[in-house]
Amino acid sequence: MTDMSERFMVVPVDRGDARAGEDRVDGDSVFLDAGAGEDERRGSVPILQYSREPNRFGAGNPRESSPFINNTDDEKGNLYDGKNMALFEEEMESNPMVSSLLNKLANYTNLTQGVREHEEADEDEGAKKKTVKSPQMGTFIGVYLPCLQNILGVILFLRMTWIVGTAGILESFIIVSMCCSCTMLTAISMSAIATNGVVPAGGSYYMISRSLGPEFGGAVGLCFYLGTTFAGAMYILGTIEILLTYILPGAAIFKTEVKELQAEAMLNNMRVYGTCCLTLMALVVFVGVKYVNKLALVFLACVVLSILAIYAGVIKTIFEPPVFPVCLLGNRTLQNHDFDKCLKTDIINNVTVTTKLWSLFCKGPELNASCNEYFTLNNVTEIPGIPGLTSGVISENMWSSYGPAGMLVEKPIEAETASDGSQDIYMPYVVNDITTFFTLLVGIYFPSVTGIMAGSNRSGDLRDAQRSIPIGTILAIVTTTIIYLSCVVLFGACIEGVVLRDKFGDSVKGNLVIGTLSWPSPWVIVIGSFFSCCGAGLQSLTGAPRLLQAIARDGIVPFLEVFGHGKANGEPTWALLLTALICESGILIASLDAVAPILSMFFLMCYLFVNLACALQTLLRTPNWRPRFKYYHWALSFLGMSLCLALMFISSWYYALVAMLIAGCIYKYIEYRGAEKEWGDGIRGVSLNAARYALIRLEEAPPHTKNWRPQLLVLLNLDSELSVKHPRLLSFTTQLKAGKGLTIVGSVLEGTYLTKETEAKRAEQNIKSAMTAEKTKGFCHVVASSNLRDGISHLIQSAGLGGMKHNSVLMAWPASWKQSNDPQSWKSFIETVRETTAAHQALLVAKNIDSFPHQERLTEGTIDVWWIVHDGGMLMLLPFLLRQHKVWRKCKMRIFTVAQMDDNSIQMKKDLQMFLYHLRLNAEVEVVEMHESDISAFTYEKTLVMEQRSQMLKQMQLSRTEREREAQLIHDRNTASHSALNDKADATPERVQMTWTKEKYFTERNRNREAIANMAVRDLFNMKPKQSNVRCMHTAVKLNEVVVCKSQDAHLVLLNMPGPPKNSEGDENYMEFLEVMMEGLNRVLLVRGGGQEVITIYS
């Protein structure tokens, strides 16, 4: 596989010798002169150079980059000194002139970085630069013949006759039609993808990964790799089967005369010879890949000659069928290895003597020797193995003949039956070596239609890939389909049924069954198929490591990165080693019939995703989806996908599940550990469309109470370094949400977006890092606003999208509001409370958020809920949600409610218990009685102190404002004219006249200030607290006493949050009431409902 990372880069070149209007080609560089001026000719002119070197970052992973924009270079400005394009010159650094790009874009090539470049590198080792030859392969040589060579192969020669004999002509026709339809539909989808833009050398993997994203791309790429590797194992096993069965049977190492052990001995021979063959092939691939490619045409010639020999043989059977007699005992087929005459006895010199066949069934050569019962009852007959095209044998071969392993291969004629058949397994009958059924044959046959990707894999070598790939691939599939379907009919019409079902040709003296049909000799097919299998095995061992190398270099599967490295010339050494090891595991299975379904699964999985990619892109109508190949439709792709899935489960449902599990595991691994990649893939398009559809559906109606869950807007404060001030707020969010529903984390920066853009991005990154550290899943939103209050208001109003908006706001309690000189800190808090109420959103305020648990699990303890007023049931729901998380799981829930003097507390407790029962919540219930009591002196005094403090702060605020105004006045008086001072005279005391001196003015001002201060102090001492404030303070104090008494040791206390006063004069008092209410408690969550029921007793 080739490296798929290509890029343009800007390089400065000396233009001293360049002539206007000419292109000069030198190595990889193309120098462009688009009407350049004299200034340009003298200077160093940056041009676009096409570079094959990968863009590397991190641990050597290639990065996709655009060749068109954002290619910056310090010396680039010299190209644009002319006056014509002055309007655009400021952006020339990132957006180059079209005139300088057109030549490169029109002649964009994608030279494969595979074998051919390596050959050139070897030949021109001394040369520093080599002229890049543009790809010259046409449709016939570049696509049609490689596809033909890859599709036709081992199954056709070794298993096709057996499949026709076992399944019958009709069912074989169905099998071939299904498999060929599957590949044709896949080829149509692949053609659409391949003609949708330039496909770099990398073929199918590149197409799927760029269409379906890195997760699917990696999963399917590795499936395709495993399929290609097991295909190599299958071809090697085919090579060894031909060698040991038909060419050199005497070369077997493991031999046995015991018939039932012969199959096992053969498997061991396959393992030994297969391992040796694999080692030899791997060495050939390692040493010289170029020789494999040069031999490809030789191997293809072998395939073509073999097929021509078959057709020639079929035609010859009309006039002169070949002589391959088959010996039948009764209706049973005999293995024709150990006897030469199909006779029980023979007459030699007028003497009747027994034959070799007699001695196989009898205990001695004597005529009176005791013989096998079936042998005694039935006569032997000899029939032609190849009756010929006009013999009418086609009618016998029309129907299937499935059976278990060990079933005798019998001709449907009358025969005597023996009473005892126990000795049949020791007799030289032809039997089924495996249990046969329709679905098994589908799995064994399917590999013979794979190989359709061969053309797309060579896309880098084609003169016009977008034209050649569809035409060549579809023509190759049509050709091979015709060959396969005609072979099914012709084999059934020419060859005797018992010979067709004889997998290894035992009834025709160990000849290859398809070879008996060929002309001029069976050896044409034997030698042709041998070299064909060798070539296909070498091609697999060449292609698979390159595919793995391409996946490794993409950097999407971290543990495969080592396989991206290779020899100095780029040969994938490590990938070849892994391929050989996996291939060896296939060879150790040793049975061609067992390996074929395995690679069928992996190829079908790959084809399934090619169809899925095409269907998705078509249905999503992606703007970039503009294939030149127009004869596709999403319905065809879906049909192809369904057919692939059906064939997977038809072939072998357990292999299908294993293949899906492997692909699923790879997908999840890449999703969890893989590198971040954005390839503009179709799955992202599906996500966007699904999200849009879901959002539109969500907006149609508000959520039902049963579906209500807190969708949180978390308001974070940032410190001076733009780091998160209270990260435990994110921890608490995670514990409350458990990854479900919507979480938007918002923060506000003071200033305009233009001045704060970089800071906003940095703050966003810091918040995202904190969210990752705290395992908070959600979205981050940083707003720049002229002031904090407006920014929070914007977030509350506009965060979220459509039906996916927040319904609850979570924030930290401003703990230092009393110490703060700036009243805006608590004023913005109260405004937030008011705005959430106006927006009908719930509000959660966490006190002492930094003491909340992080990841450590809490031991036995309680979450105490103080249910004072009902505001939708938030207080009930929140502890339940918290206890779903492991941190709070061991905590018990306690619910306290407050009874007044005239309430029946016993009945209240019963009612509350029943209500909780209906809500399916487990909690302890306690009713706390708050007796009417007189307002204590402590409460009165606390209210008075609160109001005095408030009044003093107002005085201080006024005096600060006055000082600021005075400073402004003096500044203006010193710098401006008398008329300007007159304009601002309203800022000075009323008696100030323009004739006053500065000293006189200050004396007057100080006298006024002292009088005001004395009066203010006198007022403070004479103050009486407002009755409403006293009552509110009384409630806060009494409630705090009860809560502290009952819940001081609770892990978390949830309290109803009272609403702020309607007019803003009492804002500071409101903060004081809340502070008093929470005094002496460690972790408190103030809860204010959004005016909607959030919990229900109904199912």
Residue 947 vs residue 379, higher pLDDT: 379
Q: Is the pLDDT of residue 763 over 50?
A: yes
Model pLDDT for residues 580-609, shown as the tens digit of each residue: 999 999 999 988 888 988 989 989 998 998
Res 738: pLDDT = 59
Sign of the torsion formed by the C-alpha atoms of 524, 529, 530 and 534: positive
Q: Are 370 and 354 in contact (CB under 8 A)?
A: no
700-728 mean pLDDT: 82
Q: Is the pLDDT of residue 22 over 70?
A: no
Res 23: pLDDT = 41
CA atoms within 13 Å, Cβ hemisphere of 502: 30
Q: Is the pLDDT of residue 108 over 50?
A: no
What residue spans of 555-677 are helical by DSSP H?
A: 573-589, 592-620, 634-651, 653-673
Most confident of 53-67, 472-486, 703-717: 472-486
851-877 mean pLDDT: 83
Q: Is the pLDDT of residue 849 over 70?
A: yes
Radius of gyration of the chain (CA): 44
DSSP E strands in 6-107: the ranges are 7-14, 24-26, 29-31, 44-51, 56-57, 61-62
Res 238: pLDDT = 92
Distance in angstroms (rounded) separating the CA atoms of residues 872 and 877: 10
The pair of structure tokens assigned to 716 is 């974070």
Model pLDDT for residues 783-842, shown as the tens digit of each residue: 999 888 888 999 988 888 877 888 899 999 887 777 666 667 778 888 888 888 888 888
Model pLDDT for residues 347-379, shown as the tens digit of each residue: 888 888 888 888 888 888 888 888 888 888 888
Whether residue 520 has a cis bond before it, omega within 30° of 0 = yes
Model pLDDT for residues 191-238, shown as the tens digit of each residue: 888 888 776 655 667 777 777 778 778 888 888 888 889 999 999 999
Res 1002: pLDDT = 63
Closest CA to 141 of 454, 353, 608: 454
3-class SS of residue 715: strand
Res 36: pLDDT = 40
744 pLDDT band, cuts 50/70/90, is very high
Angle among Cα 970, 974, 976 to the nearest 5 degrees reads 110
Q: Is the pLDDT of residue 475 over 50?
A: yes
Write the burial class of residue 160 (CB in 10 Å: 0-12 exposed, 13-18 middle, 19+ buried): buried
The rounded mean pLDDT for the chain is 78
3-class SS of residue 454: helix
Least confident of 73-87, 314-328, 371-385, 926-940: 73-87
877 pLDDT band, cuts 50/70/90, is confident
Distance in angstroms (rounded) separating the CA atoms of residues 716 and 1087: 18
Q: Angle, to 10 degrees, between the axis of helix 465-494 and the axis of helix 160-194? A: 160
CA atoms within 13 Å, Cβ hemisphere of 712: 25
672-693 mean pLDDT: 71
Distance in angstroms (rounded) separating the CA atoms of residues 731 and 727: 7
Q: Is the pLDDT of residue 994 over 60?
A: no
Least confident of 48-62, 728-742, 894-908, 926-940: 48-62
647 pLDDT band, cuts 50/70/90, is very high
3-class SS of residue 416: coil
Q: Is the pLDDT of residue 986 over 50?
A: no
Q: How far is CA 785 from CA 60, 112, 191, 397, in A?
A: 42, 53, 52, 84
Residue type, 756: K
Q: How far is CA 116 from CA 123, 132, 293, 377, 518, in A?
A: 11, 11, 9, 69, 37
Q: Are 224 and 603 in contact (CB under 8 A)?
A: yes
Distance in angstroms (rounded) separating the CA atoms of residues 899 and 910: 13
640-662 mean pLDDT: 91
Angle among Cα 370, 376, 377 to the nearest 5 degrees reads 150
Residue type, 160: M
1044-1067 mean pLDDT: 83
What is the DSSP code string of 729-754?
Answer: HHHHHHHHHTT-S-EEEEEEEES-HH
Q: Is the pLDDT of residue 51 over 50?
A: no
Q: Are 784 and 756 in contact (CB under 8 A)?
A: yes
Beta strands across the sheet bearing 380-384? 332-333, 325-329, 380-384
Q: How far is CA 582 from CA 227, 548, 930, 953, in A?
A: 11, 12, 78, 81
Q: Are 186 and 417 in contact (CB under 8 A)?
A: no
42-67 mean pLDDT: 41
Closest CA to 1089 of 1047, 1046, 1055: 1055
945-952 mean pLDDT: 60
Distance in angstroms (rounded) separating the CA atoms of residues 742 and 846: 19
Residue 745 vs residue 14, higher pLDDT: 745
End-to-end CA, the chain: 58
Q: Is the pLDDT of residue 972 over 90?
A: no
Residues of the chain with pLDDT > 70: what percent?
74
Q: What is the DSSP-derived secondary structure letter of residue 934?
A: P
Closest CA to 52 of 138, 117, 105, 128: 117
3-class SS of residue 56: strand
Res 966: pLDDT = 56
Distance in angstroms (rounded) separating the CA atoms of residues 147 and 1040: 83
911 pLDDT band, cuts 50/70/90, is confident
Model pLDDT for residues 537-588, shown as the tens digit of each residue: 888 888 888 888 888 888 888 888 888 887 777 778 888 999 999 999 999 9
The pair of structure tokens assigned to 991 is 């008696």
1024-1043 mean pLDDT: 74
Model pLDDT for residues 270-280, shown as the tens digit of each residue: 999 999 999 99
Q: Is the pLDDT of residue 121 over 70?
A: no
The pair of structure tokens assigned to 826 is 């608590």
Res 982: pLDDT = 45
Query: Does an H or E element contain 1056, and which?
Result: strand 1052-1056
Model pLDDT for residues 405-423, shown as the tens digit of each residue: 888 888 888 888 877 777 7
Res 40: pLDDT = 40
Query: How many whole angstroms from its chain centre is CA 556?
Result: 10
Q: What is the DSSP-derived secondary structure letter of residue 567?
A: S
Model pLDDT for residues 522-543, shown as the tens digit of each residue: 889 999 899 888 888 888 888 8
Write the burial class of residue 780 (CB in 10 Å: 0-12 exposed, 13-18 middle, 19+ buried): buried
Res 680: pLDDT = 63
Residues composing the chain = 1099
Res 176: pLDDT = 95
Distance in angstroms (rounded) separating the CA atoms of residues 788 and 794: 10
